[in-house]
Amino acid sequence: MGQTSTAARQRRSRTDILNTRERGHVIAGLKTMLNPKVTAVVGVSTSNPFSPGNVIFRKLCFENGLKTYPINPKGGTVEGVKVYKSITEAPDDIELAVISIPARFVPGVLEECGRKKIRSVIVVSGGFSETGESGRSLQHEIVEIANQYNITMVGPNCIGVFVPDRVDTFFLPSERVARPRYGNVAIVSQSGGWLVERLEEFADRDVGIAAAVSIGNSAQTTVSDFVRFFGEDDNVRVILAYIEGFGPGEGRRFVEECARVARKKPIVVLKGGQSEAGHRATQSHTSSLAGNGAVVSAAFRQFGVIEAMDEDEVMAYSKVFSFGPRPMKGKRVGTLTVSGGHGVIASDEAAYYGLEFPPFKEEDQEAMRSVMTPAYQGIASFRNPIDLTGSASDIDYERVLDKMLALDYIDAALLLLLPYAPGISLQIGARVANVAKRHKKTVVAYVPYLDKYEVIIRGFELNGIPCGDTIEEAVQMLNGIRKWSEYLQRVGAL
C-alpha cells in the first residue's frame, strides 16, 4: 500500500511539473532567479560567519549589491544587518529565496515562501533523493509544495546560480574561485564541483559566460527547462551541460527540447556515468538514471546534441561556439602553417576526428605559389597542409590564405601560427582576420598560449577568429562546428 502511494505521488508530481511548465511559470521564475532585485537567505548563522548561508548572504548583499534579508529563528544581526526570524516575518518584496538549512526543515520554509508569493527558490540543502528512500520521500514533498504555489525551484543538493555582475549564490568564498567575465556561454550542471572547475578554466581562457547554474538533484526544474530558457535568450550563443542522468521520462523531453533549440544555437553536453563504475557513482551523487552510454550517444546525435567526450572537448566546443562561427558546408579543411611538423600533427588529429584535408589541384597550387614572395616560392609546399616555411612573412600568409579560402572545395581553414618565424609580426592575427572576413567560411587558428603572443591572439579573437592553445584544440573546434553543421543540414536548417 505504501509503495502504491509513493508511486502515485511521483506520477502526480510529474503531472504537476508538466502543467506548470505549460503555463510558463517555470520560465518566468527563471528570469527572476537569474536577475533578482531583492533576495533572502534562509539559514544564516549568528555565530559562524563561514557557514554556507553566511557566505551566500555576504555575496548577495555586499558583492552583488542586492537588498538581501538574512533569516534565522534566533533573530539578531549579521554583518550589521537585521536578521528576520522567518520568511513570514520578512518584508514582502522578496523575489529569490536561497534555502540552506537541514533537509527536514525545508518543506516548512517552502510553504512560507509559497504563502509569501515568492516565485523563485534555490534549495542548497542536501539530504534528499541522493540519500535513499527517506530522502526521496522528502524530495517529492518539496516538489509538490513548489508546484502547488507555482514556485520555480532549483535544487536541492546544489550550489545555485551565478551570473556575472548580477547574482552569485555559490557558497564558496569569492577569493577561492575565479569568476569569468560576462559573455554568451550558458552552463548547466548536475555537479557543483564540475561547474566550479569550468568557471576557473573559462576565466583563465577569457571565455565569458551568460550564466552558470548548478541544478543538483533537479527535482523540479531540469536541464530541459534551462535548454528551453537559454534557447530563447538572444544573448546566449551556446548552451553547455554536464549531465549524469535523467529522471523517468526526462531523457526524451531533453533531446526533443534540444532538437528544437539546436536549429538556432549549438548545445554541448558532457555525459557522466557512461562506465559501470560511473553509473554507480551517479546513483549515489544525484540519484539520476544514467542510461546506456551507446543509446544515449545515438540519441544525442539524432537530436542535434553535440557530445563532448572529455573536458578538453568541452572547452574547445564552448570557446569556438562563443564566437558564433559560420556553419561548415562539409568537412574539407585547408590548412596553412609555417612548420611542416605542425602540419603533420594537424593531419593526424584531423583524421582522428573525421575531418578531411583534400589535396589542392595543381592549378590552385600554382596560383597560391605565384602570390608568395619570389625568393621563397621554391621552398614552400602547396599541398594540404600548406607549409610556407619559417621564411614566410605576414604578406605571404595573407595572400596565400586569400587564394585558399576562395576554393570551392574547401569548407574551412585551419591556421597554424608559430610566431617564432622572423617574418611573422605581432599584427599577423588582425591582418589575417581581415582577409578571412572577405570569405564566408569558417576559420580557426592555433597560436601557442603564451603571454608574449597575447597581442597575436587578441588580433585574431577580437576580429572573430577563435584560437586554440594546442593544435588538437583547434582541430576539436572545427570538429564541433562540423557536428552542428551536419545536424543543420539534416533538418534543412542550413
Give yes or no for a contact between 156 and 128, defined as CB atoms under 8 angstroms apart. Answer: yes
The pTM is what?
0.91
What are the residue boundaries of the structural domains of the chain, listed by start? 1-155, 158-322, 333-490
Alpha-carbon distance of 92 to 94, in angstroms, equals 6
pLDDT in tens, 422-439: 999 999 999 999 999 999
Contacts of range 9-17, beta carbons closer than 8 Å, 24 or more positions apart: 9/140, 9/144, 10/140, 10/248, 12/144, 13/140, 13/143, 13/144, 13/147, 14/248, 14/249, 16/143, 16/144, 16/147, 16/148, 17/143, 17/147, 17/220
pLDDT in tens, 314-367: 999 999 999 999 999 999 999 999 999 999 999 999 999 999 999 999 999 999
pLDDT of res. 280: 47
pLDDT of 1 strictly over 70: no
- Beta strands 209-214 and 160-163 are antiparallel
pLDDT of res. 291: 56
Q: Which of residues 119 and 4 earns the better pLDDT score? A: 119
pLDDT in tens, 123-172: 999 999 888 888 899 999 999 999 999 999 999 999 999 999 999 999 99
- Going by C-alpha positions, the residue among 381, 386, 430 that lies closest to residue 404 is 386
Helix/strand/coil for 308: strand
DSSP 8-state class, residue 456: H
Q: Read off the pLDDT band of 7 (50, 70, 90).
A: very low
Alpha-carbon distance of 385 to 329, in angstroms, equals 20
In CATH, what is the architecture of 1-155?
Answer: 3-Layer(aba) Sandwich (3.40)
pLDDT of 8 strictly over 50: no
pLDDT of 11 strictly over 60: no
Cα torsion angle, 39, 44, 48, 50, sign: negative
Tell me the longest C-alpha to C-alpha distance in the chain.
89
pLDDT of res. 421: 83
CATH fold of 158-322, please? Rossmann fold (3.40.50)
Alpha-carbon distance of 80 to 55, in angstroms, equals 15
Copy the grid coordinates of residue 481. Answer: 562546428
Q: What percent of the chain has pLDDT over 70?
A: 91
Whether residue 73 has a cis bond before it, omega within 30° of 0: no
pLDDT of 230 strictly over 80: yes
pLDDT in tens, 59-69: 999 999 999 99
Buried residues in 113-146 as b, exposed as e (16+ CB within 10 A): bbebebbbbbbbbbbbbbbeeebbebbbbbbbbb
pLDDT in tens, 353-376: 999 999 999 999 999 999 999 999
Give yes or no for a contact between 416 and 338, defined as CB atoms under 8 angstroms apart. Answer: yes
Average pLDDT over the chain, rounded to an integer: 91
Q: Read off the pLDDT band of 18 (50, 70, 90).
A: very low
Please compute, for residue 181, the number of CA atoms within 13 A of its CA located in the half-sphere on the CB side.
7
Whether residue 156 has a cis bond before it, omega within 30° of 0: yes
- Going by C-alpha positions, the residue among 107, 216, 223 that lies closest to residue 155 is 216
- Alpha carbon distances (Å) from 47 to 43, 53, 54, 71: 12, 12, 10, 13
Alpha-carbon distance of 465 to 457, in angstroms, equals 9
CATH fold of 333-490, please? Rossmann fold (3.40.50)
Q: Read off the pLDDT band of 276 (50, 70, 90).
A: low
pLDDT of res. 274: 55
Copy the grid coordinates of residue 265. Answer: 544555437
Q: Read off the pLDDT band of 6 (50, 70, 90).
A: very low
Q: Which of residues 392 and 9 earns the better pLDDT score? A: 392
- Beta strands 67-71 and 38-42 are parallel
Q: What percent of the chain has pLDDT over 90?
A: 83
Alpha-carbon distance of 233 to 307, in angstroms, equals 22
Fold match between 158-322 and 333-490? yes
Helices (H), 165-240: 192-204, 223-231
pLDDT in tens, 45-83: 999 999 999 999 999 999 999 999 999 999 999 999 999
